[in-house]
Chain A
C-alpha cells in the first residue's frame, strides 16, 4: 500500500534523475526598500538535463545567490527558475545543495550527517547502506563515527558533498565544494565528481573560483560579471568547453580558453 502511494520507495535512488533548469529573466536584490542593491540582473539561461555548468565570477558577484534561487532558499525579486518545466517555489526537494561552508550538525557523527541528506522515502536499511557507500566514495569510511569538529575542514566539506549526493538529486548545486581542500584531495574529488556524474548523470551547477576546475569539469562555463553601466551582475559570458571528459589538464585548447577566462575575471598576463 505504502509502496503504491510512494512509488519511489521501491527504488530508493530514483536512478538517473536529471532535470533541466531554466533561469528566466532572473533578478535579485537585497537591502531595505530605500537602500536596495541589485545583485543579479536579467539572468536568462537554459541548462540541459545532465549538463555540468560551472559558474565563475569575482568574489561577491552573486554566484551563491544564483545557486540559492535555484534551490528555492531565496525567492528571486524578478523572473523565475524552472526545474524540469515546473517553477521553483520554496525549498525544492528535486535539488540538493552542498553549501560553501560544510554546515554539518556538530552533535552528529559524519555518518548521521550524511544520512540527513537521504530522501524521506528511503527505507532504513537501504538508507544505511547508501550512507556507507557514500562515505566510502568520499574516502571517509574510517571517520564515519567521528564528529565534524574532530576532522579537518576538507573532510567536513567532503561529508557535505556526500550529504548532498545522498538525496540522489535531479539537480546538484555545489557552491565551491572543493575550495577548502588541499591540492591533492581536490584533484581526487574532482575525479570523483566526474565518476559519479558518469554513472548517474545528474544536472550539476558548480560554483567555483578556480578557472582550471571549471575547464576540467564543465560542459559549459557561465561567467557572471557587471552588466553595462548598471548595478548587479548578469551573464558576461557563456561558453562551451571543447573536448569530452575526462579532459587533459595540460591541453593547449584549454590553455587559450583559460587565459580568456582569466582576463575576463580581471587577471591579465597568464
Chain B
C-alpha cells in the first residue's frame, strides 16, 4: 500500500479516538464541532463550491478546454493528423468499430476481466489480511512470505503465468487478481492492527470473545479502511488489465491499443485511452459511492 493510504488509515483511527474521547462539557454543538465527519464536510465546503451540480459543471471546465484545444489543433495543424488525430476522427473510428460490432466486444471482455480479477483478488486479500491481522501465529508464519511476494514487481509474474496457464483468460485474470490482492490485503491487515484497543477491551469486558468479538468490534472497525483498499485495488486491476492485454491477447482495450499501434491507427489509440479513462473513472465512482455510505455507516 502507498504511504499515503497508510497514513490515511492511521489518521482515521486517530480521529475516531479523539471523537470518542471528547471530555468537555455536556454540549451537543461543541461535540459536533469535534466530530471528524463534520470537519471533513465543512472543510470541503466553501459556499457554492460545495453544491453538487456546481461542482459537476466546474469539473467539466478543464476537459472542455482540452477538447477545444484539441479541435483547434485539427484546424491549425500544429501536430499532424497522424500524431494527433482530430476529435472527429477519433469519434469516427469509434463509430466504425461499433458498427462492426468490435468495440462493444473489446469493452465487455476488458471489463469482465477486471471485474473477475478484482473480485477474486479482493476476497483473497480480505481473507488473508484478516487471518494475518488477527492471528499472531499466522502473522509470524506468513507475513515474511507475503512481504517477499509483494516485493516482486507484479509484471515479473507474466512469463510464469503464460508458461503455466497459456495465453488464455486464466493467465490474464490471474495477473489482475495479483494486482488487486495486495492493496486489499495491506489495508485490511494494517487496519486490523490499528483497531482501537480500548474498544476491543470494552468488548471483552462485556463478555465478547472469538467470533463474536470479531464480528461485533474488529470487522466493523475496519470497514472504512477496507473500502479505501478496494478502491486502490480497482485502480490496480485496470492497470494490470492493460499490461496483460498489451502482452498477449486478441481482444480487449489493451489489445486495441497495441494492435492500433502496430497499424499506425493513432485515432483508435486515442479511442482506447479515452474509453479506459471513462470506464475506469465510472467504476471508481461507483465504488466511491459505496465507500461514502460505508464510512457514514461504520464510523
Residue of B26, B28, B31, B32 touching A185 (CB-CB under 8 A)? B26
Please determine whether B24 and A153 come into contact, CB atoms closer than 8 angstroms: yes
Chain A residues in 8 Å Cβ range of B299: 106-107, 149
Contacts of B20 in A (CB 8 A): 101-104, 106, 148, 156
The answer to the question of B4 belonging to the interface, with a C-beta cut-off of 8 Å to chain A, is no
Stretch touching chain A among B81-89, B162-170, B194-202, B267-275: B194-202
Question: What 1/0 mask marks residues of chain B from 256 to 299 whose CB sits below 8 Å from any chain A CB?
Answer: 00000000000000000000000000000000000000000111
In the complex, the answer to whether A182 meets B297 with C-beta atoms within 8 Å is: no
- Chain B residue numbers with a CB within 8 Å of A116 are 203, 206, 208, 216
- Please give the distance in Å from B86's CB to the nearest CB on chain A: 53
B53 contacts chain A at the CB level, 8 A cutoff: no
Judge whether B27 and A182 touch: CB under 8 Å. Answer: yes
Q: With A106-B16, A151-B28, A180-B23 given, is the CB distance from A117 to B198 under 8 Å? A: no
How many contacts A-B (CB < 8 Å)?
88
Whether, in the assembled complex, A12 has its beta carbon less than 8 Å from a beta carbon of chain B, the answer is no
Q: For B198, what are the chain A residues with a Cβ–Cβ distance below 8 Å?
A: 99, 101, 103
CA distance A156 to B207 in the complex (A): 20
Flag whether B217 is at the interface (Cβ < 8 A). Answer: yes
Q: Per a CB cutoff under 8 Å, which of A107, A179, A181 touches B298?
A: A107
Mask, A66-102, CB within 8 Å of B = 1, is 0000010100000000000000000101001101011
How far is it, in angstroms, between the C-alpha of A99 and the C-alpha of B205 when the chains are bound? 10
Q: Mark B5-32, 1 if CB is under 8 A from A, else 0.
A: 0000000000010011111111110111
Please tell me if A105 contacts chain B, counting CB pairs below 8 Å: yes
B contacts with A: majority SS = helix
Closest B residue to A186 using CB positions: B26
Closest residue on chain A to residue B205 by CB atoms: A97
Write out the residue numbers on chain B whose beta carbons fall within 8 Å of the beta carbon of A154: 25-26
The residue in chain A whose Cβ has the minimal distance to the Cβ of B198 is A103
* C-alpha spacing A204/B146, complex, angstroms: 50
Chain B positions within 8 Å of A155 at CB level: 26, 28
Contact assessment for B204 and A152 in the assembled complex, using a CB-CB cutoff below 8 Å: no
In the complex, are the beta carbons of A152 and B26 less than 8 A apart?
Answer: yes
Among candidates B21, B203, B207, residue contacting A101 with C-beta atoms closer than 8 Å: B21
Within 8 A of B (CB), among A224-256: none
| Residue interface bits A162-205, CB-to-B below 8 A is 1, else 0 | 01000100000000000111100100000000000000000000
Instruction: Report whether A107 and B26 are in contact in the complex, using a CB–CB cutoff of 8 Å.
Output: no
Interface residues of B in 189-229 (CB under 8 A from A): 198-199, 201-208, 216-217, 220, 223
Residues of the B chain whose Cβ atoms lie less than 8 Å from the Cβ of A105: 199, 203, 216-217, 220
Question: Does the CB pair B220–A107 fall under 8 Å?
Answer: yes
At the interface, yes or no: B35 with Cβ under 8 Å from chain A? yes
Is A14 interfacial (CB-CB < 8 Å)?
Answer: no
Contact A107 B24 (CB under 8 A): no
Beyond the given A91-B204, A99-B202, A149-B37, please list 17 additional residue pairs across the A-B interface where CB-CB is below 8 A.
A97-B205, A99-B198, A103-B20, A103-B198, A103-B202, A105-B216, A107-B299, A119-B207, A148-B20, A149-B35, A150-B35, A151-B31, A152-B25, A152-B27, A152-B30, A154-B26, A180-B26
4 closest residue pairs by CB, A with B: A154-B26, A103-B202, A153-B22, A182-B26
| B contact residues vs A (CB 8 Å cutoff) | 16, 19-28, 30-32, 35-37, 198-199, 201-208, 216-217, 220, 223, 297-299
Can you name 30 A-B pairs with beta carbons within 8 Å? A71-B205, A73-B201, A96-B205, A99-B198, A101-B20, A101-B23, A103-B20, A106-B16, A106-B20, A106-B299, A107-B297, A116-B203, A116-B206, A116-B208, A119-B207, A120-B207, A149-B19, A149-B35, A149-B36, A149-B37, A152-B26, A152-B30, A153-B24, A154-B25, A155-B28, A156-B20, A163-B206, A167-B206, A180-B26, A182-B27
